[in-house]
Amino acid sequence: MAEAAMGEPAVRLCVVVPCYNEEEVLPETARRLAAKLSSLVERGAIAPSSRVLFVNDGSRDATWALIKELHADPARLGVEGDAPWFEGISFAHNEGHQNALFAGLMRALDEGFDCAISLDADLQDDIDAMDEMLEKHRAGTEIVYGVRSSRGTDTAFKRGTAEAFYGFMRWLGVELVSDSADYRLMGRRALAALSGYREVNLFLRGIVPALGFTTDKVYYVRGERFAGESKYPLKKMASFALDGITSFSVKPIRWVTLLGGLSIIVALAMFAYTLVSLALGHVVEGWSSLMVSIWLVGGLIMVSLGIVGEYVGKIYLETKARPRYIVAEATDGVAHDGELRA
């Protein structure tokens, strides 16, 4: 990576790392990030006042205790160097990955950092890609996406469902960056624009591309999880996909109207068939067709109610205007009331 131009100040970088029950992997994550930031400072790519911000999303293990230890005395956990790299905030309750990520990005904005790079704590994202991200940002790119160069490490099921999800979202008209999760760089202008999004049901993979600004991509090979278990099992992945669909498109509700219209057409056709059969004197038992019709229509009604109910539920959550999260504790000793972010 090219060093900062002569006389041009190095950017203040905040690396945002959401954490939920990450005690097994956190010390190693901290060691690698400290080494990376030290290297970037030596080359003039970032300012010495850059930081790593861990966001504890209501973990039930020792994650928050480790974050406080990394802030107070990182050497005890094997982190080399004297720079005070680590800061942390802790939620009062588990609020979900997207809220934790948003909280860290808003903290970076509030504290005046020039840009923020978000990544997961499991070390699957290649932190060496940060070099190219920063280079592209220095060249004027406001948002740089980390994109997987392949999905060779995924199972066939996960690879297939991911491709189906991205394809389905594009069909709905939602702008997404394929094979890109939440590993990205955002400049200060993009962070400021993101702060204006007030919805409770956050889907940052759809919101960030909607911000506009200049964008670019950095390709990297996604590795295996260093330790611990994935925080996105099938159930959470399905819920996350549903949030993405219902947060950015009303097409499913329009499908309800279409299904209702098709049901009426089928009913009229069955009524006409019945009249013709009676006129011709045919004996029509009708039990099987009646049962099939009842189950079909009943199923359509239940599915339709479920789709409409999903949207009504989201409206209900939005109208209550409750805070997305509450910061209970921070390593700087200040919980920051402004971080209740309604």
What are 279-319's pLDDT values in tens digits? 776 655 665 567 567 766 776 777 777 777 777 777 766 67
Average pLDDT over residues 143-163: 75
pLDDT of 236 over the 70 cut: no
Rounded to whole angstroms, the Cα distance separating 74 from 82 reads 9
pLDDT for 171 beyond 60: yes
CA distance 332 to 90: 11
| pLDDT exceeds cutoff 80 at 253 | no
Collapsed DSSP state (helix, strand, coil) of residue 17: strand
The predicted structure's pLDDT at residue 262: 73
| Residue, of 331 and 320, whose pLDDT is higher | 331
In sequence order, the 6+-apart residues with CB closer than 8 A to the CB of 78 are 27, 31
Residues 252-280 have a mean pLDDT of 69
Which is more confidently placed, 90 or 227?
Answer: 90
Lowest mean pLDDT among 2-6, 82-86, 244-248: 2-6
Instruction: Establish how many alpha carbons lie within 13 A of residue 259's alpha carbon, considering only the half-sphere containing its beta carbon.
Output: 18
Token pair, residue 107, equals 């903290």
8 A C-beta contact, residue 99 and residue 202: yes
Could you tell me if 172 and 251 are in contact, meaning their C-beta atoms sit under 8 angstroms apart?
Answer: yes
Check residue 51 and give its pLDDT: 94
Look at residue 146 and tell me whether its pLDDT is greater than 80. Answer: yes
Neighbours of 306 (CB within 10 A): 11
**pLDDT confidence bin for 183, thresholds 50/70/90:** very high
Distance (Å, whole) CA 97 – CA 202: 10
Read off the pLDDT of each residue in 207-212 and give the average, rounded to a whole number. 88
With CA atoms as reference, report the closest residue to 102 among 11, 170, 202.
202
Question: What is the model's pLDDT at position 233?
Answer: 57
Contact 116, 185 (CB under 8 A): yes
pLDDT at 243: 63
Question: Burial level of 275, CB count in 10 A (0-12/13-18/19+)?
Answer: exposed
Q: What is the pLDDT of residue 341?
A: 42
Q: Which two tokens stand for residue 339?
A: 């971080």
Beta strand spans in 11-134 (E): 13-19, 51-56, 86-91, 115-118
Read off the pLDDT of each residue in 77-92 and give the average, rounded to a whole number.
84
Is 0.75 topped by the overall pTM?
no
Percent of the chain with pLDDT over 70: 68
Q: Which whole number is the average pLDDT over 161-172?
A: 71
Confidence of residue 100 (pLDDT cuts 50, 70, 90): very high
For the chain, the helix, strand and coil percentages under 3-state DSSP, each to the nearest 5:
50, 15, 40
